[in-house]
């Protein structure tokens, strides 16, 4: 059973042998017709290199060519997505996002604010109960662990822990894959750094993580630029703290130029979950529902897996022999995930509040594109 309890999750062969009722559901003909009648869908914050989204979006377009997909601000963070919903409440055009893909903490917050509408996909029962709002306002989509992507053409001694990053040899080399004041990925990068110092996820990890980055910045090791595959290749950010699925995808895209290595830090194995939701103000609610059906179908879930994200229905798909072996072979070894910690929503919220409120005062590094 997949648990968001802060306990350890082991992705060993034994833990994958779960028995669940497999659902090979299809969206209703009525929903498909209603979505085609709307003819539009606006997504936001879905870069094509993230979780294989390029192919996932392409598959949706190929399956439903009658629906025009507008991709808003692919590099936006979770907070930016919610702001786009707020700013476009009365906008019925393509600049109003219909659907969201946000960090775990942002789902309940958006629900509380009334920014989400409920919908339960056909495969609802195969989504673990503790990874979704029971009424369907938000539901987990995929997860990964925080890692280091290292340009080994530049970095001779590959760091294996957060503690290593403070060494003088990494001066001007370490970056986050986002702005920790707005990006869920970067905020949880700070959480992982706090965990590496023994802090429990939550307010304690925020304090400890901010102190870590204060020291990293003071040492001259922190680069206040959003780390991406391009900046890694250029040598601007030779070490990037990012989700493993992003690191693996960037590695593939670089095709060995430069040479890279991906490390799950030994002193903090943090797992992070993202969630899907439909805007309460979606101009195209039926197209939004059809998009969700696509994402939570076997095809959509395996599409994420091809992008190195563990889809939320992963255990269900493996148990029912729906995952091609060649995909399983491309994933990091199971023991890389054995010590993974899944913080609760409350812990993620407490950490996020602390990081966003304290970054400027404590670290004092203005992270830019």
Which residues of the chain form CATH 3.40.190.10?
8-143+272-336, 144-271
Tokens for 259, please give them: 């040479």
pLDDT digits (tens, 9 = 90+) for 17-50: 333 333 456 899 999 999 999 999 999 999 998 9
Quote the pTM value.
0.77
* Residues 141 and 311 sit within 8 Å (Cβ to Cβ): yes
7 contact partners, CB below 8 Å, separation of at least 6: 341, 342
Sequence-distant (≥ 6) Cβ neighbours of residue 94 within 8 angstroms? 40, 42, 70, 72, 283
Above pLDDT 90, what percent of the chain? Answer: 81
Task: From 8, 26, 43, select the one nearest 288 (Cα to Cα).
Answer: 43
Judge whether 146 and 268 are in contact, CB under 8 Å.
yes
Q: How confident is the model at residue 6 (pLDDT cuts 50, 70, 90)?
A: very low
Q: How far is CA 161 from CA 175, 204, 271, in A?
A: 14, 19, 16
pLDDT tens per residue across span 70-117? 999 999 999 999 999 999 999 999 999 999 999 998 999 999 999 999
Q: Token match 């990293």: residue? A: 216
Q: How far is CA 245 from the centre of its chain?
A: 8
- Select the more confidently predicted residue: 342 or 284: 284
Instruction: Provide the CATH topology of domain 144-271.
Output: D-Maltodextrin-Binding Protein; domain 2 (3.40.190)
SS3 324: coil
pLDDT by residue (tens digit) across 189-207? 999 999 999 999 999 999 9
Name which CATH class applies to 8-143+272-336. Answer: alpha beta
Q: How far is CA 91 from the centre of its chain?
A: 27
Q: How far is 24 from 38, CA to CA, in rounded Å?
A: 26
207-263 residue pLDDT tens: 999 999 999 999 999 999 999 999 999 999 999 999 999 999 999 999 999 999 999
Report the C-alpha gap between 176 and 306 in whole angstroms: 24
Return the higher-pLDDT residue of 292 and 16. 292
Asked whether the bond before 258 is cis by omega within 30 degrees of 0, the reply is: yes
Query: d(Cα 81, Cα 229) in Å, to the nearest integer?
Result: 23
For residue 341, the SS3 value is strand
- 238 with 223: CB under 8 angstroms? no
Q: Tokens for 157?
A: 């001694």
């Amino acid at each position: 059973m997949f648990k968001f309890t802060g306990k350890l999750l082991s992705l060993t062969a034994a833990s994958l042998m779960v028995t669940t009722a497999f659902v090979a559901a299809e969206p209703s003909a009525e929903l498909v017709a209603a979505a085609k009648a709307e003819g539009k869908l606006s997504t936001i914050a879905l870069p094509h290199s993230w979780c294989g989204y390029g192919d996932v979006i392409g598959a949706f377009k190929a399956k439903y060519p009658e629906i025009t997909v507008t991709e808003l601000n692919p590099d936006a963070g979770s907070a930016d997505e919610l702001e786009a919903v707020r700013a476009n409440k009365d906008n019925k055009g393509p600049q109003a996002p219909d659907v969201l893909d946000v960090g775990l903490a942002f789902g309940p917050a958006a629900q509380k604010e009334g920014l989400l509408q409920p919908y339960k996909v056909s495969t609802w029962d195969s989504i673990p109960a503790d990874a979704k709002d029971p009424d369907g306002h938000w539901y987990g989509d995929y997860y990964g662990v925080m890692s280091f992507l290292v340009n080994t053409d530049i970095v001779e001694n590959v760091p294996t822990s957060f503690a290593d990053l403070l060494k003088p040899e990494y001066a001007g080399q370490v970056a986050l894959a986002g702005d920790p004041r707005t990006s869920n990925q970067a905020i949880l990068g700070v959480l992982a750094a706090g965990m590496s110092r023994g802090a429990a996820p939550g307010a304690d990890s925020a304090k400890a993580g901010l102190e870590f980055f204060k020291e990293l910045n003071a040492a001259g090791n922190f680069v206040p630029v959003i780390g991406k595959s391009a900046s890694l290749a250029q040598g601007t950010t030779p070490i990037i703290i990012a989700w493993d699925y992003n690191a693996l995808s960037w590695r593939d895209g670089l095709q060995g130029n430069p040479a890279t290595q991906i490390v799950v830090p030994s002193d903090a194995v943090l797992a992070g979950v993202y969630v899907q939701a439909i805007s309460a103000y979606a101009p195209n609610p039926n197209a939004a529902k059809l998009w969700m059906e696509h994402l939570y179908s076997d095809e959509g879930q395996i599409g994420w897996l091809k992008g190195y994200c563990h889809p939320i229905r992963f255990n269900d798909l493996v148990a029912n022999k729906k995952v091609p072996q060649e995909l399983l072979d491309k994933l990091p070894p199971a023991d890389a995930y054995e010590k993974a910690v899944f913080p609760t929503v409350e812990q993620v919220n407490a950490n996020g509040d602390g990081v966003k409120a304290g970054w400027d005062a404590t670290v004092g590094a203005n992270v830019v594109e």
